[in-house]
Amino acid sequence: MVEKTLEKSWEQLNQLLESYRCTKGSMIPVLQQAQEIFGYLPKDVLIKISKELDVAISQVFGVVTFYSQFHLEPRGKNIIRSCQGTACHVRGAKAVLDAIRERLGLKDGQITTPDNEFTIETVACIGACGLAPCLMINDDTHGRLTAESVAPMIDKYYNNKK
């Protein structure tokens, strides 16, 4: 089953590359769409893009690591965006973040749970300062959080997906 989806993804990538063939300055849109297809940018995909666009793989890797929108590792089914903007910061966003990381059992530097259920990343502001400290899980916004209240909320998503 998984094999089949992967095969389909590569087919889509080939179509994508075909549509951008000979177009100058197409690296970033190609990377963005490739990431949409695969969920992240696997090494093989980058090598393929490098060859097809005739851009050195070192340069492609340089671009991918420059922009935070690109991801080299698989991402979880649920994306948590924890706001660390000024308003959230002064109202204890760090403690909320620590509580989430502890709940998810993430080690230093890890951002995705081993079961691929959650990926957590920090953002500078989600425009909901009145609800500080706040975060987004997928498309839902949650506000006025505390280290105590955040854990059960996460569990709900975990259970939902089950």
Partner 1 sequence: MELVKVTIDNKTVSVPSDYTVIEAAQIAGIHIPQLCYHPELTKEGACRVCVVEIEGARGLGAACVYPVNDGMVVHTNTPLVRETRKTVVELLLANHPQECLICQKNNNCELQTIAADLGIREIPYTGEKRNAKKDESNPSIVRDPNKCILCGRCIRACQEHQGLDVYAFVNRGFKTLVEPAFSYDLGEVTCTYCGQCVAVCPTAAICEKDDTEQVFDALGDPNKYVIVQTAPATRVALGEALGLPAGEIVTGKMVAALRRLGFDKVFDTDFSADLTIMEEGYEFLDRVVNGGTLPMITSCSPGWINFIEMKYPDLLPHLSTAKSPQAMFGALTKTYWPETQGIPLEKIYSVSVMPCTAKKAERVRPQLQSNPGIPDVDAVITTRELGRMIKNAGIDFKNLPEEKYDSPLGVSTGAAVIFGVTGGVMEAALRTIYAVLNEGKDIPGINFMPARGMEGIKEATVDVPINGNNVTVKLAVAHTLKNARTLMDKIRAGEADYHFIEIMACPGGCIGGGGQPQPVNAEVRAARTAAVYRVDEDKTIRQSHKNPDIIALYDNWLGKPLGEKSHHLLHTHYKEQPREV
Q: Could you say whether residue 124 binds partner 1 (CB under 8 A)?
A: no
Of 41-49, 73-81, 92-100, 137-145, which segment contacts partner 1 by CB under 8 A? 41-49
Residue of 60, 80, 88, 128 that binds partner 1 (CB under 8 A) = 60
Q: Which of 57, 114, 146, 148 binds partner 1 (CB under 8 A)?
A: 57
**Residue choice 19, 23, 59, 86 for contact with partner 1 (CB under 8 A):** 59
Backbone angles phi, psi at 140, to 5 degrees: -90, 140
Buried b (16+ CB within 10 A) or exposed e, 93-113: beebbebbbebbebeeeebbb
**Residue closer to partner 1, measured from CB, 42 or 133:** 42
> CB 141 → partner 1: shortest distance, Å?
28
End-to-end CA, the chain: 19
3-class SS letters over 91-135: CCHHHHHHHHHHHHCCCCCCCECCCCCEEEEEECCCCCHHHCCCE
- Residue 146 DSSP class: -
Total residues contacting partner 1 (rule CB under 8 A)?
A: 13
Alpha carbon distance 122, 135 (integer Å):
9
Q: Which stretch binds partner 1 (CB under 8 A): 15-23, 34-42, 59-67, 88-96?
A: 59-67
Tell which one of 56, 69, 74, 156 touches partner 1 (CB under 8 A).
56
Q: Using DSSP, state whether 10 is helix, strand or coil.
A: helix
What is the smallest separation between the CB atom of 17 and partner 1, expressed in angstroms? 18
Binding site for partner 1 (CB under 8 A): 43, 46-47, 50, 56-62, 65-66
